[in-house]
Chains A and B, each alone.
Chain A
Amino acid sequence: MRIGILSFAHLHAEGYLANLRRIPGVEIIGFSDADTERSKRIAQKYGVRWFWTHEDLIAAGPDAVIVTSENARHRELVQLAAGARVHVLCEKPIATTTEDALAMKTAVEEAGVKFMTAFPMRFSPAVQAAREMVRSGALGQVLAVVGVNHSENPKHHRSWFVDKELAGGGATMDHTVHLADLYRWMFGVEVGEVTAAISNPFDAEVEVDTAGLLLLKLENGVPASIDASWSRPSNYPRWGHLKMEIVGQKGSLLLDAFAGHLHVWRGAGGRGYEWAGFHPDPNQGMIESFVSSLRAGRQPPVSWNDGFEAMRVALAAYRSAAEGAPVSPADL
């Protein structure tokens, strides 16, 4: 199977490249990116072919592509790939507007290609075990869910994350979708309502939000929160966390998806301290699932609709914060 990577704008592209290389029978045809400096560095560091334009990469005839551009450019790249009958794994959030997301759906359906939304946390063994426990009923009636997906400010790695046009927003756009998707997936219901406080307390240099607190009401009546803030300092021992506490009448479950780590101190100067994870990489499971779905001719397990519904939760959060009232994602 021949796979290409459309754009290295998103941080995750480097990880996906490593994930692809671990899968037997996958040929990485290269990546396309208009940023010359970045591309030369990537091509040299990883020994992959660089295509100056996305059209050139598509012309090289991949079976599938991974779209890891800036959020607002997903639409044009998905349309380009679908138009050439190439399957797509698309980074989250899948778009920044419902209009773009719907256009992507049309392109994919008309071309008859497969589309997967990149929600790697579904492939975390810890998350899967938590979902099993919820669905087994062992916790009894679920009373509340408290979710945290906070991180450092990603602008230090890629500046477009704080460009409202390209990213569609800040921390709330960046992080809401992971937990929103997990809640939908674990409980098998949509998010009925979102109330949110969104703010920029951490970075006076940027226009976008750096903090977001969301209280959701799932359609089964369970209240669930999301902390989407870029509230970890850049010298935090790791990029951040994905945590979830599910409070049930019979018992509670505490999920810390990246809990397994070594405490590592290194380097000179200061107290250089790091958490080095040793659990399976959820991205690996996600990429393998994408490849095996294509090989089997199956729909990948995370759909366009999953990406769309999670994106609408983030959009509802922005509207709620602006209006000071609860907003239903279905109204967006």
Chain B
Amino acid sequence: MGRVHAGVYRNLGVELVGAYDPDQERLGAFAAEFSLAALDSYEELIEGVDVVDICAPTYVHEQLAVQAFAAGKDVILEKPIALTPESARRIIDAEQRSGRRLFVAMVVRFFPQYRSAADLARGDKLGGLGVVRLKRVLFPPGPGWYRDPEKSGGMPVDLMIHDLDYARWLLGEPVRVFARRSPRLEDGAHEHVQAVLEFASGAIAHVEGGWAYPPGYFRTSLDIAGDRGLVEWSSDAPQPVETLFPKDAPAPAVGLPLAGLEENPYETELRHALLALELGGPFDVTPADALAALELALAVRESADTGRVVEVA
């Protein structure tokens, strides 16, 4: 994600001061790619910047964010905000003490199709919302910290949080959650979870997340049904640019999931954050949203693990 953000900053004309990563080799390659300084420590990085963009693994979010706020810097923090609500609250406390801003990068709200659908749904174009379906399934992550729930929170916290946040954006806080997960496999990487959220309004939502497909596949979809209208979108729909290669030959690349979109959603997100910073305006994902989405993801994980219905409000 560091590469994606750096590319966006370059486009936006933001001055990239430097980067830090404890892995020297990775840091060197990154610094060379974006022509910026490879710094010797996180402390040195914090010293020289106005805004710190943290794309480090989730288990170090709290440490790095609190340190940046203590030095009086604004923070753009990759999702999920933290591994536990307590940890997230400590980040938010540090933000409030510092008087600086925290932007949690929940990028799904900035994808044009998700934003357009939310505009329709939130603008009452669909009437009262009844059933919302959200899907986000891809292949399992490779070996590394993502696979360790102690470090990433596991699939519900790392991946489903996008759609859980989106469901909250449309419908507010659910009252009950229940979820079912796939059988546990020896590889420890495959995980598929289906969650149902119930809202006080009578609306219900089905949220599907998974690290479960063969390598290269990534599918998302939304289906928002109200009593006066319906909006559907699926990543299965033809893209503005499609490629045809011989079917028995391996495709040269996974594909171009962003090709043809009018704007890179990461750019929309970061521009929105920088503008909010400059003008003191609101950012669409508040720290409280990031915390609530985490709490919801943890409720989904709990229900998936125990099989019980979880009352969340």
Contacts and interface: CB of A to CB of B under 8 A. Distances in A.
Interface of A: 141, 143-144, 146, 148, 150, 193, 195-197, 199-204, 210-211, 213, 215-217, 221-223, 225, 227, 229, 231-233, 236, 247, 249-252, 254, 324-326
A258 B166 CA distance: 29
B247 to A, nearest CB: 16
Interface string B128-170: 1111010101000000000000000000000000000000000
Contacts of B206: 213, 225, 227
A259 B275 CA distance: 45
A106 B208 CA distance: 42
Contacts of B192: 143-144, 223, 247
A191 to B, nearest CB: 12
A226 to B, nearest CB: 10
Given A201-B204, A221-B183, 13 more contacts: A141-B183, A144-B194, A195-B178, A201-B129, A215-B196, A233-B225, A236-B230, A247-B182, A247-B210, A247-B212, A249-B190, A252-B212, A324-B176
B227 A202 contact: yes
Contacts of A222: 182-183
Contacts of B213: 247, 252
B229 interface: yes
Contacts of B236: 254
A267 B225 CA distance: 25
A146 B133 CA distance: 11
Contacts of A223: 180-182, 192, 194
Of all A-B residue pairs in the complex, the 8 with the closest CB atoms, nearest first, are A201-B130, A223-B180, A143-B182, A231-B225, A144-B192, A231-B131, A197-B204, A199-B202
B217 interface: yes
Contacts of A221: 183
B44 to A, nearest CB: 45
Contacts of A227: 131, 133, 206
A236 B228 CA distance: 12
Contacts of A215: 178-180, 194, 196
Contacts of A252: 212-214, 217
A179 B290 CA distance: 36
Nearest to A193: B307
A146 B227 CA distance: 24
Contacts of B135: 146
A218 B202 CA distance: 27
Given A199-B203, A250-B214, A252-B217, A229 B130 contact: yes
Nearest to B195: A215
B212 A229 contact: no
Interface in B187-218: 190, 192-194, 196-198, 201-206, 208, 210, 212-214, 217
A213 B131 contact: yes
Nearest to A247: B212
Contacts of B311: 324
A259 B10 CA distance: 44
Contacts of A211: 130-131, 204
Nearest to B133: A227
B56 interface: no
Of A201, A204, A222, most B-chain CB atoms within 10 Å: A201
B210 A144 contact: yes
Nearest to B213: A252
B309 interface: yes
B307 A199 contact: no
30 contacts: A144-B193, A195-B196, A195-B309, A197-B178, A197-B196, A199-B203, A200-B202, A201-B204, A201-B227, A202-B130, A204-B227, A210-B130, A215-B180, A215-B196, A217-B307, A221-B183, A222-B183, A223-B180, A223-B194, A227-B131, A227-B206, A229-B131, A229-B225, A231-B130, A231-B225, A249-B190, A251-B214, A324-B176, A326-B307, A326-B309
